[in-house]
Amino acid sequence: MLPYRNQEKLTMKKLILLTSLVACVAGVKADESAFQASLTPDIAVHPKTTQINGLALSIWGENPQHALALGFVNGSTGSDSKGFTWSFIANYTDTYTGVAWGLVNISHQKFVGWQDGVVNYSEGYFMGFQEGWINVSQEFHGLQFGLVNYAEKLRGVQIGFVNVARNNPWFKEFPDKLATGFPIVNWSF
């Protein structure tokens, strides 16, 4: 049997642990959007219009988020999503700030951060780092690193086997004689 003093300490530790656990559960209850689990955007714990502020686990999920999203296909809608999204297949976003890792990463309007995948595609504004086999961007600011890099408007550096920047000013005088790309490295500032 433990001496009285040690029993008191053990009881106090149990009480502190129980109080902490209750506080955590109460915190999750106060913010019911701290966790999302979904099979599809319409078969999920929360509707696809609910912003997730915590953890999203999905086969196919699609919510605005400030979260860590893990799944096979992660969609992030809305204009204020941020966090880290990692998928086995694809990530797609409207506007996102953070990190997107997947086989395919697609951003429609604006992406600020890091995309890492086999194919990275940005229809709108991209600022940051794209790393993959094929990187494509409409308006790119930063570093593209891959086998094939393409940007309509580049403000930065491309490193790869094929690098194309449609706005590279070096080629304005000789559009019929030279291509708008360089092997190994290309840049435009």
| 131-179 pLDDT tens trace | 999 999 999 999 999 999 999 999 999 999 999 888 876 655 555 545 5
Q: Are residues 108 and 189 located together in one domain of the fold?
A: yes
Q: Which residue has the higher pLDDT, 20 or 163?
A: 163
pTM of the model: 0.78
Residue 20, pLDDT > 70, answer no
Q: Are residues 76 and 121 located together in one domain of the fold?
A: no
| pLDDT (average), residues 47-67 | 95
66-104 burial, b for 16+ CB within 10 Å, e for fewer? Answer: ebbbbbebbbbbeeebbbebebeebbbbbbbbbbbbbeb
Q: Are residues 133 and 185 located together in one domain of the fold?
A: yes
Residue 182, pLDDT > 60, answer yes
State the residue for tokens 């194309």.
Answer: 164
Judging by beta carbons within 10 Å of its beta carbon (0-12, 13-18, 19+), is residue 151 exposed, middle or buried? buried
Q: Name every residue whose Cβ is closer than 8 Å to that of residue 75 and which is 6 or more positions away in sequence.
A: 41, 60, 61, 62, 63, 91, 92, 93
Strand order in the sheet with 43-44: 43-44, 35-40, 55-62, 66-76, 81-101, 104-165, 181-188
Q: Are residues 12 and 77 located together in one domain of the fold?
A: no
pLDDT band at 180 (very low <50, low <70, confident <90, very high): low
Q: Are residues 107 and 182 located together in one domain of the fold?
A: yes
Q: How many domains does the chain have?
A: 3
End-to-end CA distance of the chain: 75
Residue-level pLDDT at 29:
42
Give the C-alpha separation, 75 to 85, whole Å. Answer: 9
Residue-level pLDDT at 26:
40
Q: Are residues 42 and 72 located together in one domain of the fold?
A: yes
What are the structure tokens assigned to 24, written together?
């955590």
Residue-level pLDDT at 179:
58
Give the three-state DSSP class for 20.
helix
158 vs 52, 67, 139, 151, CA distance in Å?
Answer: 35, 30, 13, 9
Q: Are residues 118 and 164 located together in one domain of the fold?
A: yes
Q: Are residues 73 and 139 located together in one domain of the fold?
A: no
Give the C-alpha separation, 95 to 125, whole Å. Answer: 9
Q: What pLDDT, in 10s, does the model give residues 84-129?
A: 999 999 999 999 999 999 999 999 999 999 999 999 999 999 999 9
Q: Are residues 122 and 171 located together in one domain of the fold?
A: yes
Q: Are residues 112 and 184 located together in one domain of the fold?
A: yes
Residue 38, pLDDT > 80, answer yes
Per the structure, the complete domain to which residue 161 belongs is given by 103-189
Q: Are residues 127 and 77 located together in one domain of the fold?
A: no
Q: Which residue has the higher pLDDT, 5 or 23?
A: 5
Q: Which residue has the higher pLDDT, 32 or 91?
A: 91
Q: How many C-beta neighbours within 10 Å does residue 124 have?
A: 14
Residue-level pLDDT at 16:
52
Answer for the pair 57, 40: CB distance below 8 angstroms, yes or no: no
Residue-level pLDDT at 79:
82
Q: Name every residue whose Cβ is closer than 8 Å to that of residue 74 and which is 6 or more positions away in sequence.
A: 56, 58, 61, 62, 85, 86, 87, 90, 91, 92, 102
pLDDT band at 11 (very low <50, low <70, confident <90, very high): low
Residue-level pLDDT at 130:
97
Q: Are residues 50 and 9 located together in one domain of the fold?
A: no
